[in-house]
A and B are shown apart, each in its own frame.
Chain A
Amino acid sequence: MSERDPYAFLSPATAAAGVGLRTPIERAHLAAGAELTELEGWRVAAYPPADADAWVSDLSHLGKLDVRGGAEQLDALTAGLATGAARSDDGVWTLRLTPTHGYVLAPFPRVGALRDRIGAAAIDVSSGLAAVALGGARRRDVFNRSSGLDVREATFGPNRCMAGSVMRVPTLVLNRGEDFLMFVAWEYGEYFYDAILDAGETVGIARASAVPAAAPEQAEEATA
């Protein structure tokens, strides 16, 4: 074909500046009266701040890399992370799901450079996984209305990750300390966001903006 990146068509990172990348939840945000703002090439939702015991936020604009290889290769790439563990380092999250499969999450502008650094093992799935963060003091209460996964503090504390069924769809869950960041297939994004909102209704769940919750510094502070 060419010496060009064979997976360029998977990666929104190389889209031209004017494209305006959209999360799969955009229409739900517009229907809820959110304003769309520009962030790192994406159109993201801004909501007025709300004081609530649980909140949900669309962070699908995060950069995400799917990393696969041999167990030794993954050991090296994740600096020896155990299966089910995750680490945050300078705004970049590394997750080890299985001995041979992990994920790297980063601010979107850094995806290209990270992919270059990791090499062929990484595929850009920024556009393949919708990301929904569930936070607030009662986030576990909302989560338990969505999934049978065991997220008790003792079994699934901060810096843990797992894949399992949430709202009846396959989900990757990361405990960032201050919130659960959940990833589902892009095509399930809107369904998932709506379903989490519905699950949180009795708790008074609020919609939160993409920007403040997404700021990596903040996430780090919480886990520090």
Chain B
Amino acid sequence: MKRLGRRKGELIDREGTVSFSWEGRAVSGLAGDTIASALYADGVRVFSRSFKYHRPRGLLCCSGQCPNCLVQVDGDPAVRACMTPIADGMAVEHINAWPSLERDALHALASATPAFGMQVGFYYKTFMRPRWAWKYYEKFLRTAAGLGKLDPAHRRDRRYEKVHRHVDVLVIGGGEAGLEAALASARDGRDTALVEEGLALGGRLAFSGIAAATRAAELEAAAREAGVEILQPAWAGGVYEGNLVPVYQGDTMYRFRAGEIVLATGTIEQPLVFGKNDLPGIMLGSGVRRLVNQYRIAPGEEAVVLTVDDLGIETACDLAEAGIHVAAVVDTREGDPDERLGVAGIEHLRGFAPVEARGSSHVTGVVVARGGERRTLSADLVVMSGGTVAQFGTLVQAGGSVRYDEGRRVYIADHVPDGVRVAGEPVGTAAAVPASAETAKAKQFVCYCEDVTTKDVHLSVAEGFASLELSKRYTTVTMGPCQGKMCHRNSGLVMARELGVDPDEQRVGVTTARPPHNPTSFSLLAGRGYEPVKRTSVHHWHAERGGKMLWAGDWKRPYDYGDPDSETAAVHESLGLIDVSTLGKLIVRGPDAAAFLERIYPNRYGDMKLARVRYGIVCGDDGSILDDGTVARLSETEFYVTTTSSGAGGMEQWFTWWNAVWGMDCQIVNVTSSVAAFNLAGPNARTALTGLTPFDLANEAFPYLGAGHAEVAGVPCLLLRIGFVGELGYEIHCPAAAGEHLWEALMAAGEQFSVKPFGLEPQRVLRLEKAHVIVGQDTNAESQPLEAGMPWIVKLDKENDWIGRYSIEWYQGRGNRASLVGFEGANGTVPKEGAQVVVGGAPVGRVTSSRFSRRLGKAIGIAWLPSDLAEEGTAITLSDPSGSSIPARVTLKAFYDPDQERLRS
């Protein structure tokens, strides 16, 4: 198609051509064209098929507000053709039609089968029976509906960015009001950014005549000159708490935090409701003016303009100026013909309203009426100017509200929250109430996204959905991609008519436009993926030597090094080394440090001698076990506390919280990151370590539960003589920067003893052999120490108050109901963790840990069961999830080395 002559404000570059494809066919457009304008110029009239009925749909708004030109571009679904510039090589395809846009079999099916019954609520009604058929219905529906097809493998390597931005002022909307607000704020010395989703700044100015286009260009130049940062084309997805506004531009999501948000979102022109008002060739006036004035396309040869306000008259004048014959302007308002139309020689039919369009795949005319008087006008372009509505979606999202202004018969901003400003006067214009349903036999569309007709609204009212918010749930009106931009006002008007109320009475209410404002890809929301991972100083040593590195909380830890059984055996028989750097480590220091620990822990620390270490559990005030670990006394006023690996952050919070509550004179410093820790364990641990340190490791000099400073392999260390793996062991703490050096030195020193590094799984077995409870594995939020088999750790006779004391006193008075005990399987079968303890066929307890111990040659585990069963040797039955019954016996002592001879050797 030949373009119209040059005009100020046009967006096309007549010198540049761009080649792309539509449905596999080569098309060429001009530089500056959108997909929609290039295709329209090429003669394409059908851009999509509708959601439910698969009716042909053409361009409507040309400004990204309606669903009609959603296409698939290079594999990206739901792309708005009218907002996307063409690019060389772009492959554009239709969505939601089969086998093709022109011949959609589903349209034939939907129109030829009255019983198809896709009226409102059809998915609750039509497809309910027979029930067995749902899987076939579903398959069909999934093919028939939807807004494109996403290939899971599509562009997985494409980079999506997320960029955080802070500005003093963020202006949403680059129309006249937005540009003016941005200009004023930038001249005021404030950091200002402006977001405009269209391809031209100036909003309505950009397509409304030469003088307006000049004014838009001047405003834009002044704003840039003043330092306004203009993001365009880009769009604000919504307004969130704390003035957070996601702005999408290309493959980037900007997360703007703005001191002030200026909403300059303007108004949107509305369609009119009449029969077959969705036919291709029926367009909004603003859309037509964009095509004519910005892309210099003549959208038709013979036009009829349907209007409720002066915008329709302006559109008709623009069309006439472009040389398009305007048969008539059909105006719902009564009065004398407009002078401007008279000058242009256009008939002005006043007091007429549209009844029904003519045509099947494209409009050929329109029937209009004034009372009983009907006229049929032929046209290949029918323009709708149904009045405008203000876009208040973002205002409501920001916490503001709108109210109905009876005088002006429109919604206006009511409450505007702090930090938000509304620019311009986005009040819209009053609308004409659509004619009643009887006047047209054909479908009258209220909502283009979801194919909701006046009949559907009628039905929903008849079925009792008496407000728009309720009707929205039922009819899905305003729930489509446009989020009400094209249907909110008309559905409200139709609803009011059906309810028999004056729309001014506002009984139908308003719906809330949900973010995102426009179709958004999940990739943009997700951005690049980041998953923080904690690595110990020996992480790579493990990985390089076959350590199976698995997630353990926030850490990656070696599960084993390929042979967990031999790792377990090495610890029992000679020597093993495990990386326990993940343990939480806190320094508690100050004059009140000992008193603080006395109040945090159920057991005693004030009486601890220097150079000693003591096990402890931490309880919540409800008596539940929160964490466990050890406390070493470094000096009179300084303690070194270890926590579980996953409990480090939580215990730091817990300790510092109570310190804040109590205001004691002590400090808590989390040194988890600074310190690497290894457990060297096995009968040869002492001999191996002796060669690396001048420290006296003899049992008499450094007994079980001792703590001491030592230089090991040139590294300053804290040695703790503790171990949870049943053999002689040393927990060696050192600066993380020297961690790998020390680890390598320990491995070298252990070489003569065939030392093996051991992972988490061997450690689980070794710990279980000692019946050590693992907090979070064997305990849960209800477990308290009296029932968890640790009454010895609770010092109810302590003189001071401590956290959990009152609850545990209460539990003490009540007596135990459940007990955490060990069990040995009678036949070598290992019950799964989670297996039930069964008495008389009823579940009474559960297995929390279970493993096969090669050292002991039997299945062992820990289980909760009723306290009356918690006696040494009680025979119990475990019911595995697989269904098998496993006989077992209760044990109350450690399975291995119960008298701690090896541990203390």
Does A53 reach chain B (CB closer than 8 Å)? no
A1 and B718 CA atoms in complex are apart in Å by: 11
Select B716's contact among A1, A8, A22, A144, beta carbons within 8 Å: A8
Complex interface: chain A residues within 8 A of B669 (CB): 66, 68, 123
| B716 in contact with A129 (CB, 8 Å) | no
Q: Mark A1-16, 1 if CB is under 8 A from B, else 0.
A: 1101011111110111
Complex interface: chain A residues within 8 A of B717 (CB): 9
A76 and B704 CA atoms in complex are apart in Å by: 44
Residue of A nearest to B164 (CB): A148
| A16 in contact with B715 (CB, 8 Å) | yes
| B709 in contact with A1 (CB, 8 Å) | yes
Does A137 reach chain B (CB closer than 8 Å)? no
In the complex where A14-B716, A22-B537, A188-B532 touch, is A145 in contact with B738 (Cβ < 8 A)?
A: no
Complex interface: chain A residues within 8 A of B257 (CB): 148, 150
Q: Mark B726-747, 1 if CB is under 8 A from A, else 0.
A: 0000000111111111000000
Does B89 reach chain A (CB closer than 8 Å)? no
A141 and B165 CA atoms in complex are apart in Å by: 9
| A22 in contact with B532 (CB, 8 Å) | no
Select B159's contact among A1, A4, A68, A201, beta carbons within 8 Å: A201
| A128 in contact with B736 (CB, 8 Å) | yes
| A128 in contact with B707 (CB, 8 Å) | no
In the complex where A6-B638, A22-B537, A152-B191 touch, is A125 in contact with B671 (Cβ < 8 A)?
A: yes
In the complex where A8-B709, A168-B532 touch, is A186 in contact with B673 (Cβ < 8 A)?
A: yes
Instruction: In the complex, identify which listed stretch (A87-95, A174-182, A190-198, A214-222) lies at the interface while the others stay far away.
Output: A190-198
In the complex where A186-B673, A186-B736, A187-B673 touch, is A195 in contact with B530 (Cβ < 8 A)?
A: yes
Does A24 reach chain B (CB closer than 8 Å)? yes
Select A15's contact among B675, B733, B735, beta carbons within 8 Å: B735
Complex interface: chain A residues within 8 A of B255 (CB): 148
| A167 in contact with B530 (CB, 8 Å) | yes
| A19 in contact with B733 (CB, 8 Å) | no
- From residue A220, how far is it (CB to closest CB) to chain B in Å? 25
Select A19's contact among B165, B675, B714, beta carbons within 8 Å: B714
A150 and B165 CA atoms in complex are apart in Å by: 8
In the complex where A9-B718, A15-B735 touch, is A2 in contact with B709 (Cβ < 8 A)?
A: yes
Does A117 reach chain B (CB closer than 8 Å)? no
| B711 in contact with A190 (CB, 8 Å) | no
Does B893 reach chain A (CB closer than 8 Å)? no
A182 and B301 CA atoms in complex are apart in Å by: 66
| A126 in contact with B737 (CB, 8 Å) | yes
Does A212 reach chain B (CB closer than 8 Å)? no
| B610 in contact with A1 (CB, 8 Å) | yes
| A4 in contact with B164 (CB, 8 Å) | no
Does B674 reach chain A (CB closer than 8 Å)? yes
Select A27's contact among B191, B540, B718, beta carbons within 8 Å: B540
| B738 in contact with A191 (CB, 8 Å) | no
Does A57 reach chain B (CB closer than 8 Å)? no
A9 and B737 CA atoms in complex are apart in Å by: 11
Does B150 reach chain A (CB closer than 8 Å)? no
| B735 in contact with A187 (CB, 8 Å) | no
A33 and B734 CA atoms in complex are apart in Å by: 29
- From residue A143, how far is it (CB to closest CB) to chain B in Å? 9
| B736 in contact with A9 (CB, 8 Å) | no
Complex interface: chain A residues within 8 A of B421 (CB): none
Complex interface: chain B residues within 8 A of A1 (CB): 610-611, 633-635, 707-709
Residues from 3 to 45 in A contacting B, C-beta threshold 8 Å: 4, 6-12, 14-24, 27, 42
| B674 in contact with A125 (CB, 8 Å) | yes
Select A21's contact among B159, B533, B638, B737, beta carbons within 8 Å: B737
- From residue B809, how far is it (CB to closest CB) to chain A in Å? 35
| B716 in contact with A167 (CB, 8 Å) | no
Select B709's contact among A4, A21, A145, A152, beta carbons within 8 Å: A4
Q: Mark B643-674, 1 if CB is under 8 A from A, else 0.
A: 00000000000000000000000010101111
| B738 in contact with A127 (CB, 8 Å) | yes
A20 and B674 CA atoms in complex are apart in Å by: 16
Complex interface: chain B residues within 8 A of A23 (CB): 737
In the complex where A9-B734, A123-B587, A123-B669 touch, is A22 in contact with B166 (Cβ < 8 A)?
A: no
Residue of A nearest to B255 (CB): A148
Number of interface residues of A (CB under 8 A): 58
- From residue B593, how far is it (CB to closest CB) to chain A in Å? 12
- From residue A103, how far is it (CB to closest CB) to chain B in Å? 12
A129 and B733 CA atoms in complex are apart in Å by: 17
Complex interface: chain A residues within 8 A of B672 (CB): 185, 187
User: Which of the four size classes fits the interface of chain B?
Assistant: 35 or more
- From residue B589, how far is it (CB to closest CB) to chain A in Å? 8
In the complex where A10-B675, A125-B674 touch, is A22 in contact with B735 (Cβ < 8 A)?
A: no
Does A98 reach chain B (CB closer than 8 Å)? no
| B716 in contact with A11 (CB, 8 Å) | yes
| B735 in contact with A12 (CB, 8 Å) | yes
| B733 in contact with A9 (CB, 8 Å) | yes
Select A10's contact among B530, B533, B671, beta carbons within 8 Å: B671
A155 and B540 CA atoms in complex are apart in Å by: 40
Select B163's contact among A2, A19, A144, beta carbons within 8 Å: A144
Residue of B nearest to A129 (CB): B673
A6 and B165 CA atoms in complex are apart in Å by: 45
Residue of A nearest to B715 (CB): A15
| A127 in contact with B555 (CB, 8 Å) | no
Does B224 reach chain A (CB closer than 8 Å)? no
Complex interface: chain A residues within 8 A of B8 (CB): none
Complex interface: chain A residues within 8 A of B455 (CB): none
Residue of B nearest to A23 (CB): B737
Residue of A nearest to B540 (CB): A27
| A187 in contact with B530 (CB, 8 Å) | no
A187 and B583 CA atoms in complex are apart in Å by: 12
Does B14 reach chain A (CB closer than 8 Å)? no
Does B534 reach chain A (CB closer than 8 Å)? yes
- From residue A121, how far is it (CB to closest CB) to chain B in Å? 9
Does B161 reach chain A (CB closer than 8 Å)? yes
Complex interface: chain A residues within 8 A of B734 (CB): 9
Does B536 reach chain A (CB closer than 8 Å)? yes
Does A169 reach chain B (CB closer than 8 Å)? yes
Q: Mark B518-541, 1 if CB is under 8 A from A, else 0.
A: 000000000010101111110110
In the complex where A9-B717, A9-B733 touch, is A188 in contact with B534 (Cβ < 8 A)?
A: yes
Residue of B nearest to A186 (CB): B673
| A127 in contact with B714 (CB, 8 Å) | no
| A155 in contact with B709 (CB, 8 Å) | no
| B737 in contact with A127 (CB, 8 Å) | yes
Complex interface: chain A residues within 8 A of B164 (CB): 144-145, 147-149
Residues from 153 to 204 in B contacting A, C-beta threshold 8 Å: 159, 161-166, 191
Residue of B nearest to A68 (CB): B667
Residues from 116 to 139 in A contacting B, C-beta threshold 8 Å: 123-129
Extra A-B contacts (19), CB below 8 Å, given A7-B634, A24-B736, A148-B164? A1-B635, A1-B708, A4-B709, A9-B716, A12-B735, A15-B715, A19-B715, A19-B741, A22-B739, A125-B674, A127-B737, A144-B163, A144-B164, A154-B191, A167-B530, A187-B536, A195-B530, A198-B528, A199-B528
Interface residues, chain A, CB within 8 Å of chain B?
1-2, 4, 6-12, 14-24, 27, 42, 60, 66, 68, 123-129, 141, 144-145, 147-150, 152, 154-155, 167-169, 185-191, 195, 198-199, 201-202
A-B contact pairs, 16 of them (CB 8 A): A2-B709, A16-B714, A123-B587, A123-B671, A125-B674, A128-B674, A128-B675, A145-B163, A150-B166, A152-B166, A167-B530, A169-B532, A186-B736, A191-B532, A191-B535, A202-B161
